Every structure is written in structure tokens, then in C-alpha cells.
Amino acid sequence: MSERHRRPYNDVTELVGWTPLVRLNRVCEGIRTPVYGKCEFMNPGGSVKDRIGRAIIEEAEEEGRLGPGGTIVEATSGNTGLALAMAASLKGYRCIFTLPDKMSLEKRKLLRAFGAEVVITPSDVPPDHPDHYTNHAARLASEIPGAVLANQFYNGANPRAHYGTTGPELWQQTDGRITHFFAGAGTGGTLSGTGRYLKERSGKVKVVGVDPVGSVIAPFFHTGSMPEGATYQVEGLGSDKIPGTLDLDIVDDYVTVTDTQAFQMTRRLAREEGLFVGGSAGLIVHAAVALARELNDPDALVVAILCDWGERYLSKVFDDDWLLEKGIPLDGGEVLGASSRGRSS
């Protein structure tokens, strides 16, 4: 029996980090390159964003921007809000989160379960529209006395948290043998902070960003020009703008994955690997497995971030009727309906 949690913790935030690294087997059948998933859904709040919640709050406190009785406001696809609400619950802060209407009902209920106030905003508006969830959050933060905007898309505490935790963990867990790191970018904190740490340890590590088709990040990376964003269903990754916390200089390549590819891999991970994750993890793993197959190198070591827990998507990716409504094929089958996609978060 492995010795885990040998001593008690002072509070729930001390449980964040040191998530397991698990080899993927059946979804990599016939591929010699080993692929591992970093199980970020095993953080106490169920996602990789737990790593930045406490860091953002503590930095705001240290800078004097957040004090007793204060309010934390943020634009979120759900997971950062959960991380902030979990950490804020220990300190008695009020939380208000703006959430695009494409996000799952489960996420809304989870946020409210932690005591957060949820403001639903339209998904189908451009990034400069006043009702865009980021602009709505900024407006609330400016209007509420004692409020602070967590500002995950431009807050340096975000990538620094991953530089200080996720990167060192992966380096130690792989004994320095990691050759490829795959992650998406909602804010870019995971990709940038982790990637920077790994590249400082070895110039041989390749950092690969994964984008949903319709996001502007991958096209911008390859062309240097800002395209017009399209719409998609995967939550939490991709963007209709380039986040300030995303450092594209440390990224070696950016690949795109469709909603169908992402959701089919998500369901495969549950049924073939016993890993119950969200659609963003399926998106990242699809790209990682594709590269592993191309490399076919037993000396390479590919790591994919498994971003969050699948239970918050029961009404979406794991609901056959929802997939039918969106025109997304079930597990490699025929398209079940007319395509209909929602805007990026």
C-alpha cells in the first residue's frame, strides 16, 4: 500500500497539486510512444484551475487590493470560479462570477454550492461587446466597493503558479524524461508556466498547444494574423482573443482538434481507461495520441493535461441526446443531426 496523506492538512487548499501521472493504454493501442495523463481532476476542486485560485487571492491580499469583507469578481468558464470560490470560502470573501451561457448546468450549480453568485452572459457576442463575459466582470468589479477582479487572463500569478508547481511535478514524476507536453489555453497559464519550467530544464522538451477548431489562438500562432473566430462546443479552452497570460514564444507547435474528435476521445477515456474527464481533456489527449502515433518512439514520453472532472459535463458530452442535438457523432458513428455550435469561452 502506498503511503499517501500521512499527515493531516491545515485546510483544503493544501491538497492542491501533486496530482498523479497515469499511463494511457487502450487509447494508445499499437503505439510504441508512451502517453501519460496528468490527472488534474484529482485536485480538491476537480480541475487544474485549483492551482491558480489560491495564488491569485494571496497575491491580491499581499498587494493590499483585497481585504476583509472584500469581493472577488471573475469571468470564468467555471473551473477558475470554482477554484476561487473554494479558496475564498476559507477567508469569508464574497464571489461573483460571470459565466457564458454555453457552460454546463453542472458548473453553474457547483459555483452556487460554494456560495458564489453567478451572472449568465451571452456566448454569441464579440470580445469587445459590453455583454461579453470578460467585460461584464470588469464592469462589476469597478462598480462594487471593495471588489477585486481576479483577471486570470492577464494575471501573472496564473502562469507563475504552474511554473512553481505543475512543471516541477512533471519533471520529477517523469525523472526528467518528458519529451512532449500537451495542454490547451483558455488563459494560457498552464501551457506557459509549465512549458517554461520544462524548457528551462531541457531544451529538448517540445511544448504543444491544442486548440478547438474555431478558436483564434492556433491560427494566430501559425500566421501572426488575427482571424475571425468561429463557434465550438468544447468548454474552457480556446479563445476569441489572445490572452495576456499566454506566452507563445515558449510554444513549439499549435494543433487544432474538432468538437467531434474531442468528445469521442473524452468518452473513450471513460470507457477504455477509466478516466472520467471533461471535453477539454479529450481534446488534448486526441492531439497527444496523434503525435505519439506519428513518433512511434519508445524513448519519447508524451504528457497530456487532463483538465477537469467529467461529472460537470453529464448534461453535455456524456448525454447522447445533447450530442444528437449538436450534430456530433456518437463514438465514431454517423452524424446524428444538423451541426450547431456554441461560442468559445
pLDDT value for 297: 98
Question: Of 95, 125, 149, which closes a domain?
Answer: 149
Of the candidates 79, 75, 92, the one whose C-alpha atom is nearest the C-alpha of residue 52 is: 79
Task: Give the domain range for residue 121.
Answer: 50-149
pLDDT value for 345: 34
Same domain, 101 and 227: no
H or E stretch at 93: none
Same domain, 178 and 315: yes
Quick check: is 273 in a domain? yes
Task: Indicate which residues carry an active-site annotation.
Answer: 49
In terms of Cβ atoms closer than 10 Å to its own Cβ (0-12, 13-18, 19+), residue 123 is: middle
Quick check: is 155 in a domain? no
Same domain, 284 and 138: no
Same domain, 30 and 174: yes
Judge contact between 193 and 295, C-beta under 8 A: no
Of the candidates 251, 193, 252, 248, the one whose C-alpha atom is nearest the C-alpha of residue 226 is: 248
pLDDT value for 4: 72
Quick check: is 337 in a domain? no
Quick check: is 336 in a domain? no
Quick check: is 317 in a domain? yes
Q: Is 270 left (phi over 0), alpha (psi -120 to 50) or beta?
A: alpha
Judge contact between 218 and 341, C-beta under 8 A: no
Total domains in the chain come to 2
Same domain, 94 and 29: no
Same domain, 177 and 272: yes
**Per-residue pLDDT for the chain (345 aa), expressed as one digit of tens each?**
456 788 999 999 999 999 999 999 999 999 999 999 999 999 999 999 999 999 999 999 999 999 999 999 999 989 999 999 999 999 999 999 999 998 888 999 999 999 999 999 998 888 889 999 999 999 999 999 999 999 999 999 999 999 999 999 999 999 999 999 999 999 999 999 999 999 999 999 999 999 999 999 999 999 999 998 898 999 999 999 999 999 999 999 999 999 999 999 999 999 999 999 999 999 999 999 999 999 999 999 999 999 999 999 999 999 999 999 999 988 654 433 333 333 333
Judge contact between 284 and 304, C-beta under 8 A: yes
Q: Identify the CATH number of the domain in which residue 134 sits.
A: 3.40.50.1100
Same domain, 145 and 175: no
pLDDT value for 341: 31
Of the candidates 94, 96, 101, 61, the one whose C-alpha atom is nearest the C-alpha of residue 81 is: 96
Quick check: is 335 in a domain? no
Same domain, 224 and 117: no
Q: Which residues are 47's β-sheet partners?
A: 308
Judge contact between 251 and 220, C-beta under 8 A: no
Judge contact between 167 and 289, C-beta under 8 A: no
Strand pairing class (302-306; 35-39):
parallel
CA distance 213 to 221: 14
Question: Of 149, 173, 205, which closes a domain?
Answer: 149
pTM of the model: 0.91
Same domain, 62 and 84: yes
Same domain, 17 and 59: no
Quick check: is 345 in a domain? no
Question: Of 149, 176, 201, which closes a domain?
Answer: 149
Same domain, 193 and 300: yes
Same domain, 120 and 260: no
Quick check: is 247 in a domain? yes
